[in-house]
């Protein structure tokens, strides 16, 4: 199993007390499958991704990424795990304004010690995989919203992550472009074998996912295994 959340509880400070954002959440995300997470605004979807990404430590429970129990890692160990094993795509494409599409991907490999030529080739092949082969030299302002989100998807795959975490990638796109991004995400997940979580508020995307779990007030409900 590429990603396991085991009885995870996460609270945030809230006035004099604590707000429970995740309440005893357990979830197993297999490789090569797209798991959709839906739920109302404020239900804990982004918190679930933040914990899975090791960006926020849970109060209780275990987060296991590609076989590594992340609770045992120090901050440098977590940063290395994130860099090497986890791809993250946020709601807004957070691209660097001065870099071309291919350069956005190349900077991801900056710390890996790989040869620049091999890095560039991998970046170009990933841009091809997301349908942007012809736009590798464009900067963010020369790309549409959907194209920018494709660049962030390709960038997240640059280090061959075991786990891909994607938070409402279509919220700034129209329906058709949003659906195209989700289909692409499903295809990339199967081709590259990533354990992918897609957070979405659009229920029409669920047909594309291998499975759907619902979050309500920090609690998960998932259909029983078929
Ligand atoms: P969703 O992504 O489903 O909209 P979130 O995970 O962002 O939900 O938020 C879950 C709950 O935790 C909400 O009540 C939200 O206000 C609260 N929350 C999220 N992030 C923080 C934070 N950094 N500090 C305090 N409360 C937070
Ligand atoms: Mg959110």
pLDDT at site 226? 58
Looking from the CA of residue 218, the nearest atom of ligand 1 is 10
Q: Rounded to an integer, what distance in angstroms lies between the CA atom of residue 43 and that of residue 156?
A: 25
CATH topology of domain 3-221: Rossmann fold (3.40.50)
- Per-residue pLDDT for 181 more than 70? yes
Banded pLDDT at 12 (limits 50, 70, 90): very high
Residue with CA nearest ligand 1 atom 23: 12
**Inter-residue contact 64 to 6 (CB < 8 Å):** yes
Q: Rounded to an integer, what distance in angstroms lies between the CA atom of residue 219 and that of residue 226?
A: 21
32's torsion region: left (phi>0), alpha (psi -120 to 50) or beta?
left
Q: Which of 21, 39, 167, 171 to mutate to test the pocket of ligand 1 (most atoms within 8 A of CB)?
A: 21
Tens-place pLDDT, residues 71-125? 999 999 999 999 999 999 988 888 999 999 999 999 988 767 789 999 999 999 9
Q: Rounded to an integer, what distance in angstroms lies between the CA atom of residue 60 and that of residue 24?
A: 8
pTM for this one? 0.94
Q: Is residue 126 in contact with ligand 1, taking CB distance under 6 Å? A: no
Tens-place pLDDT, residues 87-102? 999 888 889 999 999 9
> What tokens appear for 136 in the block?
């590798």
**Inter-residue contact 135 to 105 (CB < 8 Å):** no
Question: Rounded mean pLDDT of 188-207?
Answer: 93
pLDDT at site 141? 97
pLDDT at site 225? 59
Looking from the CA of residue 168, the nearest atom of ligand 1 is 2
**Inter-residue contact 27 to 4 (CB < 8 Å):** yes
Q: What's the chain's Rg over C-alpha atoms? A: 17
Q: How does the average pLDDT of the chain come out, rounded? A: 93
Percentage of the chain surpassing pLDDT 70? 98
**Inter-residue contact 172 to 92 (CB < 8 Å):** yes
CA angle 158/73/86 to nearest 5° reads 20
């Amino acid at each position: 199993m590429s990603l396991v959340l085991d009885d995870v509880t996460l609270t945030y400070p809230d006035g004099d007390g604590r707000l429970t954002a995740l309440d005893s959440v357990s979830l197993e995300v297999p490789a090569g499958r797209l798991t959709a997470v839906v739920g109302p605004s404020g239900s804990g979807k982004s918190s679930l991704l933040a914990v899975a990404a090791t960006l926020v430590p849970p109060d209780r429970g275990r987060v296991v990424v590609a076989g590594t129990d992340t609770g045992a890692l120090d901050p440098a160990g977590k940063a290395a795990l994130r860099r090497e094993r986890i791809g993250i795509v946020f709601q807004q494409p957070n691209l660097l304004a001065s870099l071309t599409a291919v350069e956005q991907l190349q900077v991801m490999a900056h710390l890996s010690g790989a040869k620049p030529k091999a890095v560039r080739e991998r970046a170009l092949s990933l841009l091809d995989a997301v349908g942007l082969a012809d736009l590798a030299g464009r900067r963010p302002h020369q790309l549409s919203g959907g194209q920018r989100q494709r660049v962030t998807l390709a960038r997240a795959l640059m280090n061959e992550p075991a786990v891909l975490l994607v938070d409402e990638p279509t919220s700034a796109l129209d329906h058709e472009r949003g659906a195209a991004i989700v289909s692409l995400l499903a295809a990339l997940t199967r081709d590259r074998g990533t354990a992918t979580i897609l957070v979405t508020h659009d229920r029409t995307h669920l047909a594309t996912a291998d499975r759907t779990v619902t979050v309500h007030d920090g609690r998960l409900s998932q259909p029983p295994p078929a």
